[in-house]
Amino acid sequence: MIHTRNIEWSDFRYIFFPRGFEKFGYLGTQIWNEDSDYFKALYPLVLALDYEAKPKWCPRWFLRFLHVFGSDRSIVRVRNWKLHNLERKLTKGIAFVDWKTKWEDYDLRISIHAPKYLQDLADDIEMGFYRRGEESELVEKILKIDPDASIIWGNSDRLRAQLEELENAGLEQ
């Protein structure tokens, strides 16, 4: 027997009166802290997904309705196949599957179902987030060794070489 979750009053609030980022919930998005760096990195991607997925004539509340009653507000469960298939057809199968960090806080991984140009956007966001995070970490290490160091942002190889140079100079003394 397949079990689905119970429909609650909060589901109706979610459908008709979404709070903030919940209006994109039909895509499968789950970003809890809207003040975080992750939110700032992922928000442009979610806007692009919404632009491509939502038909111009279809209100978002209807897509959230289909997401609740068709997909059980999940990316893996199905409550009603007809409603689930209608949601997939209206949104062209575009969905935000998951995001997570791995190894480091700045190692962002994004999983979406979307056309190649949106996949490329997700990849560019991942790479940019990683690059900026890695650079920040290197600058922090450099400034610990030499608080007056001249920092030139934009190239982690240059920052890594600068850090190595400072570490070698510290070992020689």
Question: What does pTM read for this prediction?
Answer: 0.80
How many of the other CB atoms lie within 10 Å of CB of 148? 5
Contacts of 20 (CB under 8 A, 6+ apart): 34
Residue type, 169: A
Average pLDDT, rounded, for the chain: 87
Give pLDDT, residue 45: 94
- Beta carbons within 10 angstroms of residue 32's beta carbon: 8
Q: What is the domain partition of the chain in residue ranges?
A: 9-127
Cα-based angle 11, 15, 18 (whole degrees, multiple of 5): 100
- 22-48 pLDDT, tens digit per residue, is 899 999 887 777 788 888 889 999 999
Distance between CA atoms of 96 and 24, rounded to whole angstroms? 10
Convert the pLDDT of each residue in 83-95 to its tens digit. Answer: 999 999 999 999 9
Q: How many CA atoms are closer than 13 Å to the CA of 120, on its beta-carbon side? A: 3
Q: How far is CA 19 from the centre of its chain?
A: 18
